[in-house]
Structure 1
Amino acid sequence: MESPLPRPPRPIGRKAAKAKRGGTLNNECVQLLEKIAKNTSLRIERDLKRDEADMAREEAFVIQQQQTPEKDMDDREMKIMAMDTSHMSPETKAYWKHRQRDVMRRKLFHDDGPSNTDWLNDENH
């Protein structure tokens, strides 16, 4: 005979309980792996941006290093050209005049080294 009162639900068996717990663990593992993958991709993007910034900074440094010797050379040449030789001994005066001629030779002929033009090396100039 059937009872008019509803029966309470039957408890879950051991196999069903284990299967239910296992499914939850798999779901948590999937979520954890997705979170790790997302963090890894964010880290890779951040590292790429940092590498791009480092490369740009390095290129700017190289350009600056290439310009610095030219600026230093110009500063030295200006000091050589501005040298007052009126109070110097004849040997020192000859040395500085020779250096000034070398600077003029480089500036006139856009040459980085000593020139073999004789007309600038005359002692009469």
Structure 2
Amino acid sequence: METDSLLACALRLIGRKAANDKRGSTSNNECAQFLEQIAKNNSLRIERDLKREEADKPRHEAFAIKRQQAQEQDMKDREIKIMAMDTSHMSPETKSYWKLKRRDVMRRKLFHDDGPSNTDWLNDQNH
């Protein structure tokens, strides 16, 4: 009879409270494995992003060089346009404006400056 009672206890259904507890709980080991997987995925993503940046670096450098060359060509084109400007039909104020622009271009060419000049001593007519 003892074997019947042990067998009956083993086959007895789990109660509602025990079933809910069993279904809702996860073991600490499963949580740790889940967190480890998240950390591994993050490290793989970071590694992949770094490799992608390294692969894109030469392309970005080439693009920067081309952009710099385009800016230099644009500056040369503007300087040519300024130097070729016909001022014979312009008002005195407009002529003086273009004269100053030509002086800036000449100053950049003579002194190998890359930007507009902020020195006024070359524009003085008193020296």
TM-score between both structures, scaled by the size of structure 1: 0.50
| 1:62 match | 64
TM-score between both structures, scaled by the size of structure 2: 0.50
Q: 1:113 aligns with which of 116, 122, 127?
A: 116
Per residue, is there more helix in 1 or in 2? 2
Per the alignment, in what secondary structure is the counterpart of residue 93 of structure 1? helix
Q: Find the aligned partners of 1:123 and 1:96 in 2 and give their Cα distance.
A: 16
Q: Find the aligned partners of 1:89 and 1:123 in 2 and give their Cα distance.
A: 20
Q: Which runs of 5+ in 2 are unaligned?
A: 1-50
The 5 Å alignment of 1:1-125 reads 54-111=56-113, 112-116=115-119, 118=121, 120-123=122-125
Larger-gyration structure (1/2): 1
Which runs of 4 or more aligned residues in structure 1 lie more than 6 Å from their structure 2 counterparts after TM superposition? none
Measured after TM superposition, the shift of residue 63 of structure 1 is 1.0
Measured after TM superposition, the shift of residue 69 of structure 1 is 1.6
CA shift digits 1:56-113 (9 cap, x unpaired)? 2222101111222221111111111111111111110010001100111111111223
Q: Find the aligned partners of 2:124 and 2:83 in 1 and give their Cα distance.
A: 18
Q: Which runs of 5+ in 1 are unaligned?
A: 1-47
Superposition RMSD in Å: 3.0
